[in-house]
Every structure is written in C-alpha cells, then in structure tokens.
Chains A and B, each alone.
Chain A
C-alpha cells in the first residue's frame, strides 16, 4: 500500500487583485498554507468567514487559481493544469458543496443528478439506470427518489444525493464544504455517519471544511484551524481539540459549548471586530482579538513551530486550563 500522501499542499497562497487602474493592491484570501492528506484519512479545515477555508478548497479542486506554491495530487502537480488536462483528475477528486439543494441542478431528476459524472466522463458501457440504483442504495435513499426533483427533497435527502454524486466514479479524495450546513441537529449525524461509513468501505480520503469544531472532533483524523488565510494550529484532532495551544482555537472551542445552562461563565469571548483582509494587523495577525496578547505579539509575527505534537504559530502557546489574562474591555 502506497504510503505517499494523496494530496500535498505546499506553501499555497491565493491573491485576489483589487483596486482600479492606478492602485494595484490585492488581498490574500489564502496567505501561505501547507499540509498533506494521506490515503483513507479525513482532514478537517476549520475556520470562520474570511478564514480562507472555502477558497483553499476551491483551489485544491482547480476552481480557483493559486498565486504561489504548488498542489500535488496522487503524485502529479495539478495547480498548473489547464481545464482539459484537469478533467481526468476530476474523476479521482470530487467535491460536495455547502447548499444541499442549491448545489443540485433544479430541473434534473435525482437519477440524472447522480449519474451525471458518468455522462461527463463516459459511461463505458455501464447501464446508467443500474448505476443510479446502486448509488441511491449506497446512500440509503429509496429507489423511487430517482424521479424526484431537488425542490422535493428535504435538506438531509439532498445532502445524500450530493454524496451519491460525489462517490459515483469511485474517487480517491472527496472535498466536503460544510457538509452539515443547513441541516437540523437531529439529522447532522446522518450525513457524517454516511461519510464515515463510505470512507471505510471505499477507502476514501476526505477534506472536510467546517466552522463547527465539535463536528470535526468526531470525524476528522487531523485538523487545521485557519484564521485570515493561515493555519494557526494543525495536528491530530484529539490533542487539538482536547488541549488547544493557540488562543483562537481555544476561543472557537468555547464558542460552541456543551449545552449546559450552568457552564456559561467558562466562555472565552473575543471582540467581534474581525480585521479586514485589506488591512491585515501587524505582528501576529490575531493580536487584535487575543485574550492573552502581549507587547511582542503586536510587532513580531510568530513562526510556525512544533509544540506538543502539533504545529502552531504563537509566541505564547497556551498551557492546559489557561484562562484569559485580560478581560474583553481591557483589550480594546
């Protein structure tokens, strides 16, 4: 079994040009990110709006050009490929999108939707009706759904159709953008369980993008937390989740607490003003909101270092049980 990583992202950055003819400025959606995904592994990218996680996902899938770095998939470099050369790669790497119903073409039936990959890449003598049946039962949808339209599906059902479509050609890697978005709490587990099950059955690797650290805890082998286009902490999920060393990770975790009316005061709260990508803070980019900020953080950008089984970029990584040294008001 090949031990090489199936996906290698090396120092990738994505810049968006802005401004008129005179001022050529650009904003960095992704500011330099590196990671690897092994075969059969689930890797999670966690972050809030503006963190660059969706941009990074699209870059990996070839939907967004990168301005720096390289992306290697199954040993071949893919960031330089044109549309035509990228097509066969898309058989091996598929993507699921955030809006469960919106990512399905409104006037196509479920049967046509799940077999579209065959139509695009050539069916090679396969019977499409049979394939549709196979895929629907793989994701636990009744076969009658083949004739339904997206607007007739619930969020959870539409999600499953998206999964079926993503695994149709037996890919090696699936990128799932917010797989639980738009789903009720009671059905979130359905999609995650399904993805887990398929992953084990089909030997898939997965990159999951989400803003919910708790979801990640249950499905990802390794996790990277993103802020303003960079990784602030990355490593095996269990330690990242259990003992976060970066203040942002700690804040994210505490933002989604166990629903317990008596635990409110444990909250680490951050000032709500997220810096704009047009004017990135100096020094450590998180210093404007950090509950542990010190003078050094305001001027010097921290380098990525190995701390306690993971990589993080922080001058003063947290020790277990650390509480903020400054209150929210003091930080203004």
Chain B
C-alpha cells in the first residue's frame, strides 16, 4: 500500500476511483432531483447552479442521471467481475489439476468462447433475455471467464508438480484440500489485479450495449444511454453527450491507472528499487 502511494499515477487513479465510488453511493444525498422526473419545460438547459450539467431532451437533470448511472456502471462492473472471477477460478483449477482429457476439452471450450465476437454475443443474448441488465452481465461473464480460467489453469499446472503439492499428496490430502489450501492462495494474486484492470472494459461493454439499446431500458439512467441521447440531440446541445461520455472516461482512466500501478507494485522483479 505504501509503495502504491508513492506512484503519482497510482494515487491519481485511486483518487478517481474513490470519487466515482463515492458519488455513486451517495447519489441520492448529493442531488435533490429525481433522475427520471420529466419536465418538458426545462428541456436542453445549459449547466447552471441548479442543474450542474444542464438538462436533457426530456428536462431531466443530467447531473443526477450521471450519478445514478454510476450506480449501474459500478453494480454491473463489480458484480459481473466477481462472478466471472469465481467461475473462472473454479474452471481454471479443474482444468489445470484434473486429467489431461478434461483439460483438453476445457481449453477447446475456452478458445471457442474467446473467438466469439462480443457484439454478436450481445445480440444473441438480447434476443434471449431482452435488453436488460441481466443480458449485459451475462455477456460480460461469458467474455471474461475464458481469460481468467486460462490464467488460473496455467498457474495451476505450474504448481501441480511443485514439491509442496507432492508433500500434501503424500500426507493424504484430498484433491479439494490441495486445490483450496495449497494451490488457490498461490495463484489468486495476479488475477485479482488483472480483474481490476478489466473493470473499465466491463463498463465499456455496459455502456456500449446501452448505447446500442441492448442494455438497460429507458428511463433507467446509464452512461451509455445518456451518451446515446446525447448523440441523437447533438444539434440542440453538446452537454448531454458530454454528460454521458466524460464519466466513462474518468472511470476508465481511474481503474486503469490504479490497476497498472498495483501490477507494477506487486511485480517481484521490480522489488528493491
């Protein structure tokens, strides 16, 4: 933690992330508007002291919508990443530690999943579930799991033949125990950092799908749908597009800087600098 704070980029990233998280959590406290309250009289107003980012095409306060959109973004990001990690870790451990044929089969499945274009996947799932948060999350999970599973699998294979695993086998430890106590704690480190660097990607997926109308349905505010509205009404005012785009940029930058700094901090080769 100390080393992280020494890196200016990392501090900056951490700062941004904290800003985003806090504003999402305290969205209701900070703003007094209802994000969905329509007010046709107040359409396309420029930013002012009452409406910090102005209003959109239906007179809704943009600042409120952005902060609430943050909730969606973070919810999707954190929940789906957590689920992807959980599934990916389990599958990776099984593929790495289990018999060869199972490993070969699973690699085949992972590779197939990875080669599927994301947009098509999104379209396919939307046909199944209809545009919704669920669709977004399933897309994210399917996209992320193979990558995580692969990494865990490689690490597991490397550790499978290490002496402390053999020692555990010679003591009579069950496969479950070996995976849980001996292998898992030693493979999980790098992947958590990787996952935090994937969060911007997840947010982008959510925003992208909502932008295309495949994600959250109106009137629920999502940065992607605000961005969509922004482009549709770009001739009236630029502020809607800005309101949708800027938070995406800030969050992406924040998590990326934080993640990269964390990765460098934990890289054993850079120790002692």
Chain A residues within CB distance 8 Å of chain B: 61-63, 86-87, 90-91, 94-95, 97-99, 102-108, 116-117, 119-121, 165
Contacts and interface: CB of A to CB of B under 8 A. Distances in A.
Interface string B181-215: 11001100000000000000000000000000000
List the 7 closest A-B pairs by CB distance, nearest first.
A90-B172, A103-B163, A87-B172, A107-B185, A95-B170, A102-B163, A105-B164
Contact of A97 (B163, B174, B177, B186): B163
A105 B172 contact: no
Interface size class of B (residues with CB under 8 A): 10 to 19
B172 A63 contact: no
A62 B166 CA distance: 11
A107 B159 CA distance: 13
A69 B229 CA distance: 79
Given A99-B163, A106-B164, A94 B186 contact: no
B71 to A, nearest CB: 36
Nearest to B167: A103
Nearest to B170: A95
Given A90-B170, A90-B171, A116-B171, A102 B162 contact: yes
Given A95-B167, A120-B177, 8 more contacts: A61-B170, A63-B170, A94-B170, A99-B163, A105-B182, A120-B171, A165-B167, A165-B171
Most chain A CB inside 10 Å of its own CB: which residue of B162, B167, B177 = B167
Contacts of A103: 163-164, 166-167
Nearest to B183: A105
A106 B172 contact: no
29 contacts: A61-B170, A63-B166, A63-B170, A86-B172, A90-B170, A90-B171, A91-B172, A94-B170, A94-B171, A97-B166, A97-B167, A98-B163, A99-B163, A102-B163, A103-B167, A104-B164, A105-B167, A105-B181, A105-B182, A105-B186, A106-B186, A107-B186, A108-B181, A117-B171, A120-B171, A120-B172, A120-B174, A120-B177, A165-B171
A98 B163 CA distance: 8
Nearest to A100: B163
B170 A105 contact: no
Contacts of B162: 102
Nearest to B188: A107
B5 interface: no
Contacts, number: 54
B58 interface: no
B169 interface: yes
Interface in B129-177: 162-164, 166-174, 177
Nearest to A93: B170
Contacts of A104: 164, 167
A97 B163 CA distance: 7
A120 B168 CA distance: 9
A103 B165 CA distance: 8
Most chain B CB inside 10 Å of its own CB: which residue of A91, A95, A98, A103 = A103
Contacts of A108: 181
Contacts of A119: 177
Contacts of B186: 105-107
A89 B214 CA distance: 60
Contacts of A102: 162-164
Contacts of A165: 167, 171
Nearest to A99: B163
A165 B172 CA distance: 13
Most chain A CB inside 10 Å of its own CB: which residue of B163, B173, B181 = B163
A91 to B, nearest CB: 7
Most chain A CB inside 10 Å of its own CB: which residue of B162, B163, B170, B182 = B170
A62 B163 CA distance: 15
A92 to B, nearest CB: 11
Nearest to A107: B185
Contacts of A106: 164, 186
A105 to B, nearest CB: 4
Contacts of A90: 170-172
Contact of A121 (B167, B170, B172): B172
Contacts of A63: 166, 169-170
A61 B170 CA distance: 7
A120 B163 contact: no
Nearest to B173: A120
Nearest to A121: B172
A126 to B, nearest CB: 16
B238 to A, nearest CB: 53
B166 A105 contact: no
A97 B249 CA distance: 53
